[in-house]
Amino acid sequence: MGVAASMAAKEDLYAKVTPRRQRQTRPGTVKHGSSLDVLLTMGFPKTRALKALISTGGRNVQAACDWLFSHVDDPFLDDSLPREYVLYLRPSGPLLHQLTHFWQQSRVLCGKNKAHNIFPHITLCQFFMCPDSKVDALGEALQNTVAQWRGRFPNPIPLELYTCSNFIGLFVEEQVAEVLKNFASDFASEAVAKAEVHVESHKKQLHVTLAYHFQANHLASLEKLAKAVDVSQGCDWLAVLYSRDIRFANHETLRVMYPYTPQNEDELELVTGDFIFMSPMEQGSASEGWVYGTSMGTGLSGLLPENYVSRADECDTWVFHGSHSFLNCASPTGPGGAMGGMFLDGQQDGRLPDESSPIDPPTLSVICQPMQMLRANSQSRGPKRTLFVCRHGERMDVVFGKHWISQCFDAKGRYVRTNLNMPPSLPSRSGGFRDYDKDCPITVFGSTQARLIGEALLESHTVVDFVYCSPSLRCVQTAHNILRGLQQDGKMKIRVEPGLFEWTKWVSGNSLPTWIPVTDLAAANLSVDTTYRPHVPISKLTVSETYETYISRSFQVTREILNECKNLGNTVLIVAHASSLEACTRQMQGLSPQNSKDFVQVVRKIPYLGFCACEEMAETGVWQLVDPPILPLTHGPNHSFNWRETLLQD
């Protein structure tokens, strides 16, 4: 159906159908049934009609029609992939006012951190999938479970403040947390019985996250704000259900700030207020200043100007499916036509309620207990382990070309500096200077880049316990200069690990580089550990290894490094190659390796001193990528300047 025909049909349908308040089957519960019947009589296929109702929170027929007509060209319109759902406890009333104030103040004083991606909540279950046809039954399951728990749901819920170097939160007292988990378990049983949906209860310690993965120098300010949160304020905890599009669960969420009309076929039309889902893995076709993304409003994908969008919170695109109070029997709320009944305080778009307008139930007789400080060095919640992976600094052969060796070494093999960006001296090599052809050094600016990274880590109060690096000279020199910036050169030793070398398929010729022995590196005043025994000796590396072998090697050596350092320190820094940022972290997160083509597209976008952080979730042992504690390093090209050729012109 063409766009013009679609719009004409839309106007004709609206002339025939006037949305009206639908009859409720019982207080607080509205079925999709009546809205679905109307959509079916309008000629929409059942799968599309259900998808439209679920995607709009089941508000009414008009909202579903709007969604269907805006997605008329969506290539996934008839995809039967279910949405992901999650059950949260959300605070309301005065406590929500307190938490909202903390949210706003922390964002003003310290900028956005990971906690801002989702509103204040206690997670009761893991994300789970539910087919569109079972969503009504899922709503009944939640409503029935809440009804069974009224009168025995714990009130108040005691909360204790806990802080550490990169996390601040309010934890539920252990005995009460077990009761909440029992409620979640009952909901899971009811969901299986009514909707045939598998729900897994949350296994971690229950808590409200206040701040997460912030810069170390913001800890004092955030902790002061957290202590000002008065949890003795009144609170009605609401059981609330949300859903998200599973296809974009790991994408970055962007908000459209300005409208844009496409100039080329591969560009995406932008409408102010729409949301864009962007995956870093899909940026291969984008040029500088452009990104590739998918519109939430239309389902279409394409290129868009990066300066027309801004970062949004992850939950901004979630759909609200209903809310139930444990205090008030007549309080279930939800969008009209969805599970649960009415809107949360005027919520009109099927997404999240405005947190500046918290829900105030008719009676608030519950008082939460005062929070108690927990020691930051509590054994039950020790510091998390962190892995940093960093690419080496600017390399000589890229800046000065592959013929730099013939320009800088005379007939007797003596090094001569011909540019200020060339190092004043180079380590001698037992095999002769020709070994630099496959194992080049970094430039002076490369050393400066590395030192800047070290200084930034020092300024952020980041403590690095162990440093490992590839045997390539450029990686050893980069690691050494990072330690200089950290003021740890001479105090901390670099462990040279051949298993961290890049994919050997990228090495030219039929042999691997001849690397400088560790003893010679130490003799050249580089801070290397001459007693370290590598996990993968050089003899185990092969020329032109397969992609699968390289990925497996990188994953295995990373695991062995982390196991080697466990209980001896919390932070490990790996300095290696652009490919290492992907190869050393992806499988640590439990993700499958990408295919080699997508892998290359990712690697080519990683600049010198590209830096990433991977953090272990202490409760589960799962690792995930997080924001690094330092700012990114950006620089521009600087071409060689010859004053004779430029200024002495006739």
Write out the catalytic residue numbers.
Answer: 391-392, 577
d(CA 233, CA 227) in angstroms, rounded, equals 14
Question: What three-state secondary structure class fits 554?
Answer: helix
Whether residue 241 contacts residue 321, with contact meaning beta carbons closer than 8 Å, is answered with yes
Whether residue 142 contacts residue 239, with contact meaning beta carbons closer than 8 Å, is answered with yes
d(CA 149, CA 151) in angstroms, rounded, equals 6
| Residue 280: cis peptide before it, omega within 30 degrees of 0 | no
- Radius of gyration of the chain from its Cα atoms, rounded to whole angstroms: 29
The residues with which 290 forms a beta bridge, in sequence order, are: 305
d(CA 207, CA 177) in angstroms, rounded, equals 9
d(CA 424, CA 584) in angstroms, rounded, equals 33
Of 249, 271, 335, 332, the C-alpha closest to 56 is 335
Of 70, 66, 72, 42, the C-alpha closest to 53 is 66
- Which residues, other chains included, contact 272 with Cβ-Cβ below 8 Å and sequence gap of 6+? 256, 257, 258, 259
Give me the sheet containing 275-278, strands edge to edge.
Answer: 301-305, 290-295, 275-278, 252-256, 309-311
Question: Tell me, what DSSP letter sits at residue 433?
Answer: G
With b for 16 or more beta-carbon neighbours within 10 A and e for fewer, the 94-118 pattern comes to bbbbbbbebbeebeeebeebbbbbb
